[in-house]
Amino acid sequence: MTHRYLPQSLSLLLRWDDKYNVFFVLEAMGTVLDSHFLGLTAIVTVVYQFAFFVITALLKFDKVTDFAGSTNFVILAILTLVVKGSWHFRQIVLTILVALWGFRLGLFLLMRILQWGEDKRFDEMRNNLGKLAVFWIFQAVWVWVVSLPLTIVNASDRNPSLKPQDIIGWIMWFIGISIEATADQQKLLFKNSSANKGKWCNAGLWKYSRHPNYFGEIFLWWGIFVASTPILKGAEWLVVFGPTFLTLLLLFVSGIPLLEESADKRFGNLTEYRNYKNTTSPLVPLPPFMYGKLPAWFKTVFLFEFPLYNRSTHEVIVS
């Protein structure tokens, strides 16, 4: 049955018989919103994050926060692939890569917080609905923006043959997720050892970078972007804002600055810790003997050693 008083695209949404199924309805919905699924992914992300926000606000239960963010990427990846229904090889590969990353990170963070018992980030938010809402809004923006390269790939009708950018992007993803997963596991094992209680993690990859997990995450998402470039055209190149947003977020907002400030307050009065900071790159893994000899301007310009990462250390020393 069609509805002659509705636009044809909306009428299709209301038609239901044996010929059509849920995938047809989803595809029609995507078409109604826009051809690049930007509206569809935005709505799904807002609804998904809002549901977890309600759980957190009502039950004071914040252990699923990171799980909600990571799995949202998986949902958008699979949803856009299925809704489009083109099943191009490039779309399938990138969807699998993002889904693997999201599942791995989501399960890791969920298991970690269940083991640790609480997330200190929410100490000041649990009883402040406004601050809690801002956090969840920001998380929704993070998911939607960073997912843009894959969203555009999965929405595209273009299917050029494999290019060098595809291979380079996939290799970057593999290197990035290997570093991120290894660093996460190394730090977890370090923290779980009673012998390391009250110490900062400087084992494994953490000898060469103060935040190797963030380096891995940034590198793999730039890999997803590189692998998406063969199908980009015109304004679609604006999806570069996805990995750029993630990089800026971790460098200047919720990633490295917060962890550096916390570590400086705990260990800033220790000579060994200050030596560790002086000889260990904040992001890009490098041998300590090499990094320690580099001039300060080079560290700042090329290796992201920004002054805001050392403010707390100076305050501790002065006090």
The arithmetic mean of pLDDT across residues 145-152, rounded, is 98
The whole-chain average pLDDT of the chain stands at 88
User: Where residue 22 falls among pLDDT bands split at 50, 70, 90?
Assistant: low
| SS3 category, 271 | helix
Specify the higher pLDDT residue, 76 or 23: 76
pLDDT in tens, 220-248: 999 999 999 999 999 999 999 999 999 99
∠ at Cα 68 (65, 71), nearest 5°? 145
Going from N- to C-terminal start, the domains of the chain cover 34-158
Rounded to an integer, the average pLDDT of 264-289 is 96
Residue 206 has pLDDT above 90, yes or no: yes
Instruction: Using a cut of 0.85, tell me whether the model's pTM lies above it.
Output: yes
Neighbouring C-beta atoms of residue 196, cutoff 10 Å: 14
The total of other beta-carbon atoms located within 10 Å of residue 2's CB is 10
Query: 63 vs 92, which has greater pLDDT?
Result: 92
pLDDT at res. 130: 85
Please state the rounded mean pLDDT for residues 39-68. Answer: 91
The pLDDT assigned to 42 comes to: 97
Provide the pLDDT for residue 38: 95
DSSP symbols for 101-145: HHHHHHHHHHHHHHHH---GGGTTTTT-HHHHHHHHHHHHHHHHH
Band (115; pLDDT cuts 50, 70, 90) = confident
Three-state DSSP state, 202:
coil
Amino acid, single-letter form, for residue 1: M
Q: How far is Cα 190 from Cα 200, in angstroms, rounded to an integer?
A: 9
Give yes or no for residue 250 having a pLDDT over 70: yes
> b or e along 247-271 (b: 16 or more beta carbons within 10 Å of the residue's beta carbon)?
bebbbeeebbbebbbebbeebbeee
